[in-house]
Amino acid sequence: MSMNNYELYKVFYWSAKTGSLTQASKALYITQPSVSHAIKQLEDSFGVTLFYRNSKGVSLTQEGAILYSYIEQSQILITLAEEKLGALKNLDSGELRIGGSDSLFKHYLLAYLETFHRNYPGIKLQLIHGTTPEIIAFLKEGRIDLGVVRMPIVDPQLEVRQGIQLQDCFVAGDHFAELKNEVVSLDRLLQHPVILFSRNSRARMAITELFQGYGYELKPEIEVGSVDLLIAFARKGLGISYVTREFVSKELEEGSLFEIQLDVKLPPSQVGLMIMRNMPLSSAAKKFVEIIK
């Protein structure tokens, strides 16, 4: 059946619903002869009569009533679909799914998420946690709308928009006070217990490679599964934690942790907002990207 059939059914629906070809023409903003022609086309294609003409207008034949019972359902569904899409476009309902790490959600995205939720309370927020490779996989599988990751990401299927810059560093509590206000060599640092993030994160890979470049093997004494534990263990004096400076600004400020000054420079890292290249963003995702800019 051609596309025109939908228009024919629409004319049939409004003629049956109003019981008048005149009313149907008004509802659809077309002429009455166009309505009559559309009804005739349908009747010819089915080989049945759909309407009785009478002085008041039109009424359905038995065959017309059977067709109407189906067409009415489809019209209701189409109207619901239009309303649903309208709500999604106007951000009255829908969902925004973002992939990233706990720490990036908490320390980078939280303020933006707060603004977005305040502006669009009808949008359901879903935060999906994972490492960078997992977030890339989620994006390609369509499980998330966008990802927040550490750069660089080199993948022709993905587009990454540059966000904030982060600086990783080693921090310790009072237990290692002898390292305060000193420039510490990598050799000396490694004489102390080091605490690292256990999952194969970008930060973990980068620091391991840096130490290898200087001829050292970085073997953590303790591995933990979250940034909060890295901070807590360092505060308790269980070791020297490798964390992102921006994520421990409060502890550094209050003095419960101090940053260890190394004799080598630790490179900064960039956070990126990652989306699928050449794929349209949902209205919610588009609006969130605008907020972050």
Domain with 60 in it: what CATH number? 1.10.10.10
Last residue of a domain, one of 63, 89, 115: 89
Same domain for 260 and 188: yes
Same domain for 77 and 117: no
Confidence band (pLDDT; 50, 70, 90) for 1?
A: very low
| Mean pLDDT on 266-288 | 90
- Residue 249 is part of a domain; what is its CATH number? 3.40.190.10
Taking 90 as the threshold, does the pLDDT of residue 79 lie above it? no
Same domain for 280 and 159: yes
Per-residue model confidence as pLDDT tens digits over 213-227: 999 999 999 999 888
How far is Cα 81 from Cα 77, in angstroms, rounded to an integer?
Answer: 6
| Mean pLDDT on 77-102 | 83
Count of the separate structural domains present in the chain: 3
Taking 80 as the threshold, does the pLDDT of residue 192 lie above it? yes
Same domain for 85 and 8: yes
- The pLDDT value recorded for residue 4 is 66
Same domain for 138 and 176: no
- Domain of residue 277, residue span: 95-165+271-292
Same domain for 275 and 262: no
Element (H, E) at 52: strand 51-54
Around Cβ 52, how many Cβ atoms within 10 Å?
11
Same domain for 281 and 191: no
Same domain for 153 and 278: yes
Same domain for 151 and 85: no
How far is Cα 8 from Cα 260, in angstroms, rounded to an integer?
Answer: 76
Per-residue model confidence as pLDDT tens digits over 112-140: 999 999 999 999 999 999 888 899 999 99
Taking 80 as the threshold, does the pLDDT of residue 293 lie above it? no
Same domain for 161 and 280: yes
Same domain for 243 and 172: yes
pTM, rounded to two decimals: 0.67
CB 16 within 8 A of CB 68: yes
Same domain for 283 and 253: no
